[in-house]
Structure 1
Amino acid sequence: MNKLTKILLRLWISLMSVATFVAGWAMLSHAQKPAPLTPTAPAQTTTNTTINMPELAPIPSLEELVGSNETANQPVFVQPSVSTGFPRMRTRGS
């Protein structure tokens, strides 16, 4: 590409960017106004129903969870299984 073609291409992209921005702005300014977030007339409900929530069990405390089970805090070391069927792939950080 020569220098004149690059300048013309950059000018074309700049003009089209400005033109589409102005066209979009004009379309948005002529669009209908959005509906209000709150309705103008309050909704009338004829029936009043309540939902009974189920009763949940109390949450156990930390002492109850840990309690006398001291082995729960010990880490479990699991030996990884070695598969000899395929070589290990090394991607070096990617």
Structure 2
Amino acid sequence: MSGSISRPGFRLRRSGARDALSGDACSLYDLDLRAPVAWVFGGEGQGVSPAVLACATRHVLIPMPGAIESLNVGAAVAVCLFEQARQLGSR
């Protein structure tokens, strides 16, 4: 892992079911995503390595209504990047 991943001012964000269950995740829609953000997404099976996860400053969940338990990683990426683009468009 590169040392640059944890340099000051470089923030990591992660989306994933494990974080949503841990209780320390916040809703994607409550975040201000207009500042630079580095997104880290883990695959459904392996997730994100503990070393990379330790660099994350924020854990993010995508609120979903009803009985939907999770999105696949491709869908989660699309939702997160769309929300960031939506917020950046409002500058």
Instruction: Give your verdict on TM over 0.5.
Output: no
TM-score, normalized by length of structure 2? Answer: 0.15
Which structure has the highest strand share of the two? 2
TM-score, normalized by length of structure 1? Answer: 0.15
Higher relative contact order (CA 8 A, sep 6+): 2
